[in-house]
Amino acid sequence: MDTNLRYTLVLRVYGDEKIFGPGIAELLEHVEELHSLRKATAAMGMAYSKAWSIVKNAERALGFPLLVSTVGGKGGGSATLTERGKRFLSAYRRFESIVHGYADEIFEELFGEDAE
Amino acid sequence: MDTNLRYTLVLRVYGDEKIFGPGIAELLEHVEELHSLRKATAAMGMAYSKAWSIVKNAERALGFPLLVSTVGGKGGGSATLTERGKRFLSAYRRFESIVHGYADEIFEELFGEDAE
């Protein structure tokens, strides 16, 4: 084979519709770091309105809030993750990490000599 | 939680660029069944030109042909998978199936009572 092979794995969580995936996970991590949804979207180059609706849809589907916000003020107030939001994000990252670890082994077995 | 959770998992194989994923896998399975790239694309509602370039890009990146075609004639000739094409498709489906089986367990563990 002319090329080294690698793979990507994307996990998304659904209820009736999509709830959670790599995008919202990254967004919430930025919120945790920057304490602001607006700064988090800026860091990702994502439209604020899009981020807002992704979070609201996820919250509605999950039945609990992911973010607590304080509105207003210069810079648009601050935002942090709720405890349940933190737990959900953490479960998603753990899910990714465990499945990825296993997939690494299987990829090596199946695509062995061509895998990077 | 207000909703039952499930997940989706997408695996893609890359060289320098994307080589293989759910789309080309499904396409090759249709070719195997219908003995025609054109019929396979029709079955999937995919543009023939798009399918052709997906297959050609994958073949170039892999360094071996996935399809053998007989050109011309009414209906545009026939196509079948090469032996290496069959093996690669089969390895990809096996990769998906093994990782999915494991992810099912981990999802149940992590999202337990909310998982369908």
Mark residue B105 as left, alpha or beta (left: phi above 0; alpha: psi -120 to 50; beta: remaining). Answer: alpha
pLDDT value at residue B84: 95
pLDDT value at residue A72: 63
Please determine, for residue A92, whether its predicted confidence score (pLDDT) is greater than 90.
yes
Distance from the A77 Cα atom to the nearest Cα atom in chain B, whole angstroms:
28
pLDDT value at residue B70: 76
Sequence-ordered list of residues with C-beta below 8 angstroms from that of A22, at least 6 positions apart, any chain: A10, A12
Residue B91 touches chain A, beta carbons under 8 Å: yes
ipTM of predicted assembly, 2 dp: 0.85
Sequence-ordered list of residues with C-beta below 8 angstroms from that of B32, at least 6 positions apart, any chain: B80, B81, B86
Contact B62 A14 (CB under 8 A): no
Q: Which residues pair with A8 in a beta bridge?
A: B12
pLDDT tens-digit profile of B8-35? 999 999 998 899 999 999 999 999 999 9
pLDDT tens-digit profile of B26-84? 999 999 999 999 999 999 999 999 999 999 999 999 999 999 987 665 656 689 999 99
Report the alpha-carbon distance of residue A68 to residue A102 in Å, rounded: 35
pLDDT value at residue B75: 57
* CB contacts, 8 Å: A102 with chain B: 99, 102
Distance from the A50 Cα atom to the nearest Cα atom in chain B, whole angstroms:
22
pLDDT value at residue A112: 83
pLDDT value at residue B73: 59
* CB contacts, 8 Å: A19 with chain B: 3, 5
Considering only alpha carbons, which residue of chain A is nearest residue B88? Answer: A111
* CB contacts, 8 Å: B13 with chain A: 5-7, 111
Residue type, B99: V
Residue B95 touches chain A, beta carbons under 8 Å: yes
pLDDT value at residue A8: 96
Q: Which residues pair with B69 in a beta bridge?
A: B79
Closest CB from B9, B15, B98 relative to A106 = B98
pLDDT tens-digit profile of B90-100? 999 999 999 99
Report the alpha-carbon distance of residue A46 to residue A27 in Å, rounded: 9
Average per-residue pLDDT for chain A: 90
pTM for this model (two decimals): 0.86
Residue type, B46: M
pLDDT value at residue B72: 63
Closest CB from A14, A15, A111 relative to B8 = A14
